[in-house]
């Protein structure tokens, strides 16, 4: 009798556990969205902006009444995990969010070194993921459950190469990049290919690398100074660019230095100051001169958090908007976790001509948006829109 009772209790517990897991993604009419972001490590401002934008979106969305699907009202709940801006941390966070927290969708990671391995986890576990900031093609490549909000490096590389060639009437370029990080390495390769397509083999006269965490670039910059190039391209993050620029100037390097979307954090202005004045980089949006929904977002973010949001914040806002649009396209929540994840993936893949605050976008078959890039110049301590390049 006792063993039969224990069996019944065990069976009931098993069934309850299954039901809780199956319905966890939308328990109590709350849709759980995981944030896999960089709150510690070497890019804390990236994770901070992503967190702030997502929290502001969820707060406003829920206050406005949430979302009606299949006759039921749903609000959004954020489940936040710190990935420490590393691949291993991103994998651990993805596994926890998907298998323990049972989120319906995962937003992030942002940098490609974290987004690429986390994307593998999300795709293997058939959970929709959207990276707000990763531009490396491998994040989404052959991964039907993985999407992104920004343009890709194979588009960005030629954009910068074409712009720098025309703007500076340059035919010889140098490149300095972190060889141990997916994003700068991939973009350096894309830029080199595009530049040499314009100016011939060997027109990238120095292709210098360093390793994540390095702070002394004098050896590489000395080679660059003597290489005979007319521009220097360095697709590095906000905490590294000021060191590179300062050391270049100390060595007497006067050529223009151009960058990529990783320059777009407001911290770059604070850390680099006058050293970066006049330089250009490609990015996804620019706050100065923004209008409409973009300006509304910027003003609300600035009022709430005390600074102008960078591109990762704007792209996170768009990632939240895209997630809501995918839910609308799905049109219902069944309570079965995998069925709902599959439906949201299909809803995301079907998004066309979506108007985000970083521009109009349509997802292609790889989960990558077709969208324009902005060329920004640093003027008087501000990011100012200078030009635009579209596919």
pTM of the complete model? 0.89
The answer to whether the Cα torsion of 31, 150, 317, 262 is positive or negative is positive
From CA 132, how far away is CA 57, in angstroms rounded?
14
Tell me: do 248 and 307 sit in the same domain: no
Q: Are 274 and 373 in contact (CB under 8 A)?
A: no
What is the Cα–Cα distance from 166 to 298, expressed in whole angstroms? 32
> Which tokens go with 111?
């940098």
Query: Which are the contacts of 77, defined by CB distance < 8 A and separation ≥ 6?
Result: 30, 31, 32, 33, 58
Is residue 122 located within the same domain as residue 193?
no
The answer to whether the CB of 324 falls within 8 A of the CB of 317 is: no
The token duo for 265 is 């954090």
Counting beta carbons within 10 angstroms of the beta carbon of residue 68, is it exposed (0 to 12), middle (13 to 18) or buried (19 or more)?
exposed
Residue 254: which residues within 8 A CB-CB, separation 6 or more? none
- If one counts the domains in the chain, the total is 2
For 258-286, letters b (16+ CB in 10 Å) and e give: bbbbbbbbbbbbebbeebbeebbbbbbbb
Identify whether the C-beta of residue 388 lies closer than 8 Å to the C-beta of residue 372.
yes
Residues 6+ apart with CB under 8 A from 99: 125
Per-residue pLDDT of the chain (391 residues; tens, 9 = 90+): 434 333 343 333 333 443 344 444 555 799 999 999 999 999 999 999 999 999 999 999 999 999 999 999 999 999 999 999 999 999 999 999 999 999 999 999 999 999 999 999 999 999 999 999 999 999 999 999 999 999 999 999 999 999 999 999 999 999 999 999 999 999 999 999 999 999 999 999 999 999 999 999 999 999 999 999 999 999 999 999 999 999 999 999 999 999 999 999 889 999 999 999 999 999 999 999 999 999 999 999 999 999 999 999 999 999 999 999 999 999 999 999 999 999 999 999 999 999 999 999 999 999 999 999 999 999 999 999 999 999 8
| 163 and 45 housed in the same domain | no
* Structural domain span for residue 96: 2-151+291-370
Give the CATH number for residue 234: 3.40.50.2300
DSSP-derived letter for residue 287 is: S
Residue 187 within a domain = yes
Same domain, 268 and 296: no
Do 28 and 144 lie in one domain? The reply is: yes
Q: Residue holding tokens 């314009």?
A: 198
């Amino acid at each position: 009798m006792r063993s039969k009772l224990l069996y019944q209790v065990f069976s009931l517990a098993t069934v309850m556990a299954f039901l809780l897991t199956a319905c966890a993604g939308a328990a109590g009419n709350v849709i759980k969205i995981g944030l896999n972001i960089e709150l510690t490590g070497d890019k804390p401002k990236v994770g901070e902006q992503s967190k702030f934008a997502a929290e502001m979106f969820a707060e406003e969305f829920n206050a406005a009444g949430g979302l009606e699907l299949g006759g039921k009202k749903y609000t959004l709940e954020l489940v936040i995990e710190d990935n420490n801006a590393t691949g291993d941390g991103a994998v651990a966070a993805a596994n926890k969010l998907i298998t323990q927290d049972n989120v319906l969708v995962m937003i992030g990671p942002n940098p490609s070194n974290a987004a690429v391995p986390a994307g593998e986890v999300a795709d293997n576990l058939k959970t929709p993921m959207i990276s707000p900031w990763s531009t490396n093609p491998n994040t989404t490549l052959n991964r039907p459950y993985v999407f992104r909000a920004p343009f890709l490096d194979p588009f960005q590389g030629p954009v910068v190469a074409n712009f720098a060639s025309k703007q500076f009437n340059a035919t010889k370029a140098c490149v300095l990049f972190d060889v141990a990080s997916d994003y700068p390495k991939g973009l350096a390769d894309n830029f080199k290919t595009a530049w040499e397509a314009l100016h011939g083999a060997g027109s990238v006269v120095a292709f210098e690398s360093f390793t994540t965490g390095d702070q002394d670039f004098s050896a590489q910059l000395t080679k660059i100074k003597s290489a005979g190039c007319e521009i220097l391209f360095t697709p590095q993050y906000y905490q590294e660019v000021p060191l590179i620029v300062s050391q270049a100037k100390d060595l007497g390097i006067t050529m223009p230095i151009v960058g990529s979307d990783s320059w777009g954090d407001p911290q770059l202005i604070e850390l680099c100051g006058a050293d970066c004045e006049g330089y250009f980089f490609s990015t996804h949006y620019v706050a100065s001169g923004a209008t409409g929904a973009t300006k509304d977002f910027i003003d609300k973010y600035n009022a709430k958090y005390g600074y102008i949001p960078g591109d990762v914040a704007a792209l996170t806002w768009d990632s939240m908007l895209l997630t809501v649009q995918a839910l609308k396209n799905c049109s219902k929540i069944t309570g079965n976790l995998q069925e709902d994840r599959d439906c949201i993936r299909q809803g995301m893949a079907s998004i066309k001509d979506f108007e985000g605050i970083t521009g109009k976008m349509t997802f292609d078959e790889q989960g990558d948006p077709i969208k324009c890039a902005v060329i920004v110049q640093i003027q008087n301590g501000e990011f100012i829109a200078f030009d635009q390049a579209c596919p």
